[in-house]
């Protein structure tokens, strides 16, 4: 069906709805002869008579009434679709799906999520937890709009924008107070029980590689499944935890934890905001990314 025919159906709809060719012309910003010509074209195309004239204007024939029952439904659906597009454009509705780690959601994204939700309450937020490889898969499968992970990310299908910089460190509680304000070597650190995140995170891979570069093997005595447990285990004296300094700022300030001073500099890490390369982003995703730059 051609585009011209769609325009003819539009004229037919308004003529049938108003029962007047002049009213249809007014609604469509056309002349009455243009409306009459369009209806004649449609009738010739379909091979049936759609209207007959009466004292009030025009009325539908039996065949015209059948056609109108379908065209009316189409018009309603188009109107709903246009309204939905307006809502999406104005961020009155829709959904934003973000992939990332629990710690990045809690300690990095939460203030941005709160601000975004306050400004756009009609946008549903879906936070999907996972490791970096999992988030990359979710992004490629279309399960998330964007991913927030630790860099580096080298994948030609992805575009990665730099976020904040993080600094990882070793922390301990009062049980290891003798280490406070002392500078120790990596070899000395390995004499103590080390607590690491159990999943194969970027942070764990990075610290393992750093120790290996100095000729040491980093084997944790305790592995846990969340940053919260890393913090609690260190506070309770179960060992020395490797965490992100920005994620334990409260504990470092209140003194329930202190940072272990090493004789080597631990490299910082960069957070990246991942999106699919050459794929259009929703307005909601674009607005959110603009906030966290």
Q: Which of 166, 139, 137 is nearest to 151 (CA)?
A: 166
What's the mean pLDDT in 210-230? 93
Q: Residue 293's pLDDT band (boundaries 50, 70, 90)? A: low
pLDDT in tens, 115-170: 999 999 999 999 999 888 899 999 998 889 999 999 888 899 999 999 899 999 99
Q: And the tokens for 289? A: 């990314």
Check for a shared fold between 3-89 and 95-165+271-291: no
CA angle 243-249-253, nearest 5°? 125
Spatial contact of 61 and 51, defined as CB atoms under 8 Å apart = yes
Spatial separation of the C-alpha atoms in residues 236 and 172, rounded to whole Å: 9
pLDDT at 217: 93
Q: What strands lie across the sheet with 146-150, from one edge to the other?
A: 124-129, 95-100, 146-150, 269-276, 158-166
| pLDDT at residue number 125 | 94
* Residue indicated by tokens 């490629």: 140
Q: Is the pLDDT assigned to residue 103 strictly greater than 90?
A: no
Mean pLDDT throughout 177-196? 95
Strand partners, 146: 98
Least confident span in 46-55, 56-65, 86-95, 181-190: 86-95
CB 60 within 8 A of CB 23: no
Check if CATH label 1.10.3720.10 holds for domain 3-89: no
Q: Which residues contact 67 (CB under 8 A, 6 or more apart)?
A: 12, 46, 50
Please say if the pLDDT value at position 178 is more than 70: yes
Q: Which residue ranges make up each domain of the chain?
A: 3-89, 95-165+271-291, 168-267
pLDDT of residue 57: 92
CATH number for region 95-165+271-291: 3.40.190.10
The answer to whether 96 and 288 have CB atoms below 8 angstroms apart is yes
Q: Which single residue is written with the structure tokens 């003529």?
A: 15
DSSP-derived pairing of the beta strands 51-54 and 57-60:
antiparallel
Structural domain 168-267, CATH architecture: 3-Layer(aba) Sandwich (3.40)
Task: For residue 1, name the pLDDT band (cuts at 50, 70, 90).
Answer: very low
The pLDDT score that the predictor gives to residue 2 is: 44
Above 70 in pLDDT, residue 37? yes
Are the CB atoms for 64 and 93 separated by under 8 Å? no
Q: Which residue has the tokens 């879906």?
A: 126
User: What pLDDT was estimated at residue 266?
Assistant: 92
Q: Report the mean per-residue pLDDT for the chain.
A: 91
Sequence-ordered alpha helix ranges (H) in the chain: 3-18, 21-28, 32-46, 62-89, 102-104, 110-119, 132-141, 186-189, 202-213, 227-235, 249-254, 283-291
What pLDDT, on the 0 to 100 scale, is given for residue 129? 92
Residue 109 has pLDDT above 70, yes or no: yes
pLDDT, residue 56, reads: 87
- Separation of alpha carbons 75 and 137, rounded Å: 39
Model confidence, pTM: 0.68
Of 114, 116, 153, residue with least CA distance to 136: 153
């Amino acid at each position: 069906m051609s585009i011209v025919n769609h325009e003819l159906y539009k004229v037919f709809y308004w003529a049938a709805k108003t029962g007047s060719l002049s009213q249809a012309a007014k609604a469509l910003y056309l002349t009455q002869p243009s409306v009459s010509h369009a209806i004649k074209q449609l009738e010739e195309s379909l091979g049936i008579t759609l209207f007959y004239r009466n004292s009030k204007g025009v009325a539908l024939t039996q065949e015209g009434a059948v056609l109108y029952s379908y065209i009316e439904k189409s018009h309603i659906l188009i109107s709903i679709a246009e309204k939905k597009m307006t809502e999406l454009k104005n961020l009155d509705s829709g959904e934003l799906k973000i992939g990332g780690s629990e710690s990045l959601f809690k300690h990095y994204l939460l203030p941005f999520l709160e601000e975004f939700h306050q400004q756009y309450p009609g946008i549903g937020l879906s936070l999907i937890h996972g490791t970096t490889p999992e988030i990359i898969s979710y992004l490629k499968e279309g399960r998330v709009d964007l991913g927030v992970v630790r860099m580096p990310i080298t994948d030609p299908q992805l575009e990665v924008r730099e976020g904040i910089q993080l600094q990882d460190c070793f922390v301990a509680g009062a049980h290891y107070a003798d280490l406070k304000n002392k500078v120790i070597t990596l070899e000395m650190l390995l004499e103590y029980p080390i607590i690491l995140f159990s999943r194969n995170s970027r942070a764990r891979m990075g610290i393992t590689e750093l120790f290996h570069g100095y000729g040491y093997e980093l084997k944790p005595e305790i592995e846990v499944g969340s940053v919260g447990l890393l913090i609690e285990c260190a506070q309770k004296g179960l060992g020395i935890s490797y965490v992100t300094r920005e994620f334990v700022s409260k504990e470092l300030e209140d003194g329930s934890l202190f940072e272990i001073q090493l004789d080597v500099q631990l490299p910082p890490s960069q957070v990246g905001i991942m999106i699919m390369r050459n794929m259009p982003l929703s307005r909601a995703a674009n607005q959110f990314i603009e906030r966290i730059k």
